[in-house]
Amino acid sequence: MKVLASVMLAVVVAGCGGEDHPAPGPGGADAADGRAADAAGEGDAAGGPVIAALDPPDAPRGADLRLTITGAGFGPEAAVLFDGQRVATTRQSAAEVVAQIAANLVADAGFHDVLVESGSQRSAAATFSATAPMGWPDVVGLKPDNGAPGDTVQVVGFNISGGPLTIKDAGGRRAMGGAIGMVNTSSAVLESVAFTVPAGWQSGPVTITSAVGGFRAKPFNVGRNLTRLPGVTPTASSEYGGTWTIAYGVDNDLLTSWFPASGDCVSAGPPTCAKAPWYMVTFPAPQTLTRLALRGYRDYTAGYALLRVRFELLGDHGAPLWSGSYDLPPPDRDLDLTLPAPVAAVSAVRLTSEKDQSEDPGFGELELF
């Protein structure tokens, strides 16, 4: 999937008017590997398992795989779940486990969830990529990656418009494919196929299948994204400007991102970091929340990620209703979170970085349901 990631980057860079993001500083790309190693010595606030890296992060589909997972908090009974299925696991230490992935589990190319269960706790799901053979559907992404029944969504990628496609949700329910289009970039021509979200669709990975083979896309959230309500107000600690302003953090487009101004960071420490970056969505009227999703940026090179964030659900006059801190798993730093119980009367949602990269780390999209 590395090639596809570079193509997706080219799509956005072509529309950025040549604006440059600063080169990574002390917390940038070169520091990312060191931070992954640092994570091996710390778990989350509750001492649960945390995934820092997968080795390998990707491999051809349809072959047995030995997957090494490094991180923290892997207890004596730690077990790996691959797309929700428990697999043979060998614990090497509290910072490393090895999983044996059978070929049938990666029969479909695409993105597969990997998490570590330790006792009653589970890590956030990291993403393993099974690369598609030549001619198979190869999905770059869904635009948008959420929606309610009746909404139109585009599947964007390669080898998806040459013949009939089957589009299914996590439960196997089909959606009808619609308009076919093309997306031209400076480095490639991407294909797109639109579909309408049917009633009864489930949240989770969407599978795209042609006569040749199948591709498992990233998770799709079914529901009305509350950040799109009229009158929603996003604010933040600051904004980098250009094509990385506050508005892009909640525009429901994974090809755009919010980055703060230089100096809004945590992990590099002073004098590089002056204050923790934060981002907040305020609703025009109180809402009930059940799920949160955060998407890492897709429109720039590695080294500017949020690695750990604290979510706060706030009520009237900023009264705290619920909060929690979560590590954002590799490689894209995406997180899908179902709240322990629905939280009513939410006036605002705030996220604050607790661990990050570079001097101006950001994200692609905050989604609230």
Q: Does 243 share its domain with 362?
A: yes
Q: Does 258 share its domain with 336?
A: yes
Q: Does 232 share its domain with 350?
A: yes
pLDDT tens digit at each of 369 positions of the chain: 223 343 443 333 333 333 455 444 333 333 333 333 333 333 344 568 999 999 999 999 999 999 999 999 999 999 999 999 999 999 999 999 999 999 999 999 999 999 999 999 999 999 999 999 999 999 988 999 999 999 999 998 999 987 788 999 999 999 987 778 776 654 567 899 999 999 999 999 999 999 999 999 999 999 999 999 999 999 999 999 999 999 999 999 988 999 999 999 999 999 999 999 999 999 999 999 999 999 999 877 789 999 999 999 999 999 999 999 999 999 999 999 999 999 999 999 999 999 999 999 999 999 999
Q: Does 253 share its domain with 288?
A: yes
Instruction: Report the number of distinct structural domains present in the chain.
Output: 3
- Please say whether the beta carbons of 335 and 367 come within 8 A: no
Q: What residues make up the domain containing 205?
A: 138-222
Neighbours of 150 (CB within 10 A): 9
User: Which of 131, 150, 182 corresponds to the end of one domain?
Assistant: 131
Q: Does 158 share its domain with 108?
A: no
pTM assigned to the model: 0.84
User: Which of 222, 253, 278 corresponds to the end of one domain?
Assistant: 222
Q: Does 172 share its domain with 253?
A: no
How much is the pLDDT for 2?
26
Q: Does 92 share its domain with 142?
A: no
How much is the pLDDT for 34?
31
Q: Does 242 share its domain with 279?
A: yes
State the burial class of residue 33 (Cβ atoms within 10 Å of its Cβ: 0-12, 13-18, 19+). Answer: exposed
How much is the pLDDT for 189?
78
Domain containing 295 — which CATH number?
2.60.120.260
Domain containing 15 — which CATH number?
2.60.40.10
- Between the alpha carbon of residue 162 and those of residues 131, 136, 159, 276, the distances in Å are 20, 11, 6, 48
